[in-house]
Amino acid sequence: MQIADTCRATAQTWYLCASARIYLICLLAFVCLLATVLHGESDACLSRTTLIGVPGADASEGLTATDFRVTVGGKAASVQSAKPADRPPRVVILLDASANHDQSTWAATQRVVDEFLAGFPAVGDFTLLAFDDRVQQAFHVTDRASLQGTLGEMFPSGKRETEAGLDEALKNGSASLGAYRQGDTELLVTTWDQIQKETEQALSQQRVAGIRFFGASFDQSRRVGPDRFGTGMTVENYSPFEAAAKASGGRWAWFDMSRQDPAASLRNATAAGKSMAALVRNYVVLELRLASPITKPEKLKIELLKDPKVKAEDRLATYPRDLFPCQ
């Protein structure tokens, strides 16, 4: 009986030891697997893709990785490759067609959008949403000229632009693009610069998705004095729309109608439309390698080193934008 009890105790001891050994082996295997997965995710988050618009016709041709200097959160990032756009970007145009316009602002609005469209190939992916207190008209075409013709036949409505109409247009514009594709761009032309929380959230969501935001404003209520340009400006110097545009890698134009005659306004509208089209169309895709993964939004700054003699307004294209943690 004593021998049997001893054997039973020995068996139990061996079983417990074996169980503990198996448990430790399984735990070690799990830790190794988890470390491998986390390392893989961390390594993948070091490789990021972004793009930058390059001003000027065919300016992106011939650029290489060595022509760019990139920092993320103030830390240098390695540019692995630089490739020019391989197809025209998808473009959504949000057009304030409200009673806020007078004859001169509407003429300038049409000129901005027409010159912007003229900067793209005859066939592309274009969406136009016209709004006042809500979205009134929507067009999705592949024929650029037909959309320019539609634009020329449009007139302002009898309703004022409202925050609700602007917010609906922004959300519908994002929805029309669906899944993000490199180069996706939104152009807003508005008479209303004053945005609320819902609009800020919509712009933030677009920025996270990677959509570049461009636009122009005729709102005369927010600023006094001449427009300001300069590389020393900070986000606090900009209106909410300007800050959102530059943080996304886009550009914003403001028209001071009180200081310009109609002819000058049309000339400036022509220049704005052409320059924004060039930045949207001529972009370079950069493959980056970060020094370390980011856990919160950081400022991404891209500098073009090849041609230091760039106009002041074009240098604003390198204004630090937001780079978000990988999803």
Each residue's pLDDT tens digit, 17-29? 445 556 555 455 4
Tell me the average pLDDT of the chain: 80
Tokens of 246: 């530059």
As a whole number, mean pLDDT of residues 173-200 equals: 90
Q: Tell me the range of 123-132, 197-206, 301-310 where mean pLDDT is highest.
A: 123-132
As a whole number, mean pLDDT of residues 230-247 equals: 67
For helices 144-152 and 103-118, the axis angle rounded to 10 degrees is: 170
Instruction: Judge residue 41's burial from the number of C-beta atoms within 10 Å of its C-beta, 0-12 exposed, 13-18 middle, 19 or more buried.
Output: exposed
pLDDT in tens, 117-176: 999 999 999 999 999 999 999 999 999 999 999 999 999 998 998 888 999 999 999 999
Q: Is 270 exposed, middle or buried (0-12, 13-18, 19+ CB in 10 A)?
A: middle
Could you tell me which of 248, 118, 134 has the C-alpha nearest to residue 126?
118
pLDDT on residue 192: 83
Of 185 and 228, more confident: 185
Give me the percent of the chain exceeding a pLDDT of 90. 42
Dist. CA 321–CA 327, nearest whole Å: 18
Whole-number percent of the chain with pLDDT over 70: 75
Provide the pLDDT confidence category of residue 116 given band limits of 50, 70 and 90. very high
**Quick one: DSSP state of residue 131?**
E
Range in 4-18, 82-96, 210-224 with the lowest mean pLDDT: 4-18
pLDDT at 20: 54
Question: In this model, does residue 2 exceed pLDDT 90?
Answer: no
- Checking if the pLDDT of 288 tops 90, the result is yes
Q: Give the pLDDT band of residue 311 (cuts 50, 70, 90).
A: low
- The pLDDT value recorded for residue 104 is 92
- Does 316 score more than 60 pLDDT? no
**Token pair for 71:** 């920092």
**What is the pLDDT, as a whole number, of residue 229?**
40
C-alpha closest to that of 278 among 65, 162, 66, 116? 116
Beta-bridge partners for 71: 76, 301
**In sequence order, which residues have a C-beta less than 8 Å from that of residue 265 and are 6 or more positions away?**
104, 105, 107, 108, 255, 257
Is 80 exceeded by the pLDDT of residue 278? yes
User: Which one of 3.40.50.410, 3.30.70.270, 3.40.50.10190, 3.90.550.10 gives the CATH number of domain 91-281?
Assistant: 3.40.50.410
What is the pLDDT at residue 314?
Answer: 46
Q: Is the distance from CB of 275 to CB of 300 less than 8 angstroms?
A: no
Question: What is the band of 60 on the pLDDT scale with cuts at 50, 70, 90?
Answer: low
Q: Predicted confidence band at 11 (pLDDT cuts at 50, 70, 90)?
A: very low
